[in-house]
Structure 1
Amino acid sequence: MKLLVAEDEYTTRLTVQVILEQWGYRVDSVEDGAAAWKVLQKPDGPQIAILDWEMPGIDGVELCHKVKVLDRDTPVYVIMLTGRDAQNDILQGFDAGADDYITKPFDENELRARVRVAERLVTIQEELAISNNELRAVLNHVEMLQSSLPVCTSCLKVQHYDDSWRTLKDYVEQKEDPRFLYTICPHCRK
């Protein structure tokens, strides 16, 4: 699983990165919000982001807002890791779309537990996205099977799904329409 650590303080960023890599995660590590945003927009971007609140450029709260509207099959799981520990700050972080919130200084075991929860949720979301895509494909297939197949009564051409008209022979040879089941009849087998 791929994670992003966005933290402007070098020691904290390196510490978190090393800990995560020791646990077997692939980690992208950046020092500001703008660099984090670039990484998160990639099609193969990280599934989990650990964001500091106060960073140059785009701060963690603004970045969290931006991440939550990304067009992805599965949303990025965001953990805010910050020194801001006032209840109002925590609520503001969650209101921005953070999925979890850890205050500094952090406990390594707590970080591990929360990252594992994030990993489980991301995995479930990915499985659901795959199932939804498969279901959509099946529903499209059923819809196509239930639709009628227009045939011209004069020339016997068949209307293709792209609205072109083809001879039945051309249409069947394309083997694109799932309504046709291709087999060999008993007469032709002989």
Structure 2
Amino acid sequence: MTFAASVFAALSIATSATASSEPPPPPALQALVVSSDYQANIARLFSQLPAPVLQRCPSLISKGSTVTMIEPVSFAPDGYPTSGLWEQSFPVSGCGNDTTINFFFRAQSDEKITSIVGVPGETHADVILQSDAVGMMATAVKAAAPNCEQITVQDSKYLGPVGKSHKAWQESWLLAVCARPTHITLTFTPDDTGTKILVSPVKQMP
């Protein structure tokens, strides 16, 4: 089993799944997430997070994680996954930026696992929507701050449903735009063709 990382952008990490309203992952997946190779990959992913997302300090803590299976996970006889998608979320706190670190993992037929660093926080967007939203957000911010090359999504808050159908929802994303905190609002509206994303205007920055 090998890991490859894809990023949209001294910590003791607990990788055992905590209780949640989601059904528990299958036993084979539970065994995988506590394996030494998997935990080493988690530690590597955490080490690569930029400072605006994961602020380090002596009081930084992460009390366990939640594993959510998004697509059914199949396993080879040797116990390694060969298909499927799951998310693992780690609440972190103690350093002034309490949030949830979200990682996605996609298993492949050759027993390789692709690791995807998702948007931190409470976003309800799936992994594809997150990628689309990050691209649209970056375009809007660069138009307002053309001299800034460092744009990081620091946190996200779910604001709730909007509209009569309650299918659409809004989120507030906290960005670090060249170290300047900036909030934007995103509206996600599902329809027959997919989900439309509307990014709120960003004020011009020097």
Please indicate, yes or no, whether the TM-score normalized by the shorter chain is above 0.5: no
If the TM-score is normalised by the length of the shorter chain, which range does it land in? Answer: under 0.3
Which structure would you say has the larger Rg? 1
TM-score, normalised by the number of residues in structure 2 = 0.23
Q: Which structure ranks higher in relative contact order (CA pairs < 8 Å, sequence separation ≥ 6)? A: 2
